[in-house]
Amino acid sequence: MGRGFPTRLDARLRKSRFAVAVAMILGLSSAAIGAEKLRELGDPGLRDAKTPASVPNISGVWQTPSYQRNIKPMDGSDPPWQPWNEKAFKEREAAEKAGHPLFDPTAGCMPSGIPRLLASPYPIEIVQTPDTTVFLHEVQHLFRIVYMNAQHPQHLEPTYLGHSVGHWDGDTLVIDTVGLEKSTQIDEGGTLHSEALHVIERIRKVDGKTLEDVFTIEDPQAFTKPWTAKRVFRWRPDVKFIEYVCEENNRNTPDKNGVLRNF
């Protein structure tokens, strides 16, 4: 009897250890399957077959489920404006409240620029190749090319969407954008920037159907310090692009003095 009890106890321990081991294996397998699904989800028609299998698949149509006019730091505070930038923002805010909005370049059908384009409520289609990640925007039919594993040219003429290079840091796509035209605004609210603007995005899949874009804005001429904001996008395979013509029936076209017509 005394010898039999330890034997039964040993059997129970072996069974218990076996059950734990199986659970761990199943858990690891589940995690591996989950990670694999995160890589695979996307539109295979928009992903070049030569793209490495290790690169997460973010191809397809995505759209933000909400829209905010102002891009703010993640804690909800105001951007760390330089004094001149804060003054310009407050003046624009006051003019809008008084019913006399100031000119907005995007209202005149000029490209929104980065990072303002990231906050657009219109759908985005992503196409992946080994050398580029291309963002096609329904709004204004803009397209943005991110050159993968590349460097910025030494000399850049400022453009509305700037020059973007990217690389994968594990499961995160890191995009570095410079060379941005200073006439654009950070957001619809009217925060301004200079040609020193530098935007760094970190895009990753939060789950199989959600993309998170955390972007840091650096511009010492316009802000007292770098600051970080975030936008979230949902996978929308059900959405197809439609025509977008800003110039047609545009009620926001400014008059000859650059003043918006008041409707």
User: pLDDT tens-digit profile of 121-178?
Assistant: 999 999 999 999 999 999 999 999 999 999 999 999 999 999 999 999 999 999 999 9
Distance (Å, whole) CA 225 – CA 81: 8
Contact 58, 42 (CB under 8 A): yes
Distance (Å, whole) CA 53 – CA 40: 9
What local confidence, expressed as pLDDT, does residue 46 receive? Answer: 75
Q: How many CB atoms lie within 10 A of CB 6?
A: 9
Q: Which helix (H) or strand (E) holds 165?
A: strand 163-169
Residue 111 predicted with pLDDT over 80: yes
β-strand pairing of 172-178 with 210-218 = unpaired
Distance (Å, whole) CA 102 – CA 18: 71
pTM of full prediction above 0.85: no
Summarised one tens digit per residue, pLDDT across range 20-78 is 444 443 444 444 444 445 555 667 667 887 888 888 899 999 999 988 899 999 999 99
Residue 99 predicted with pLDDT over 90: no
Residue 255 predicted with pLDDT over 80: no
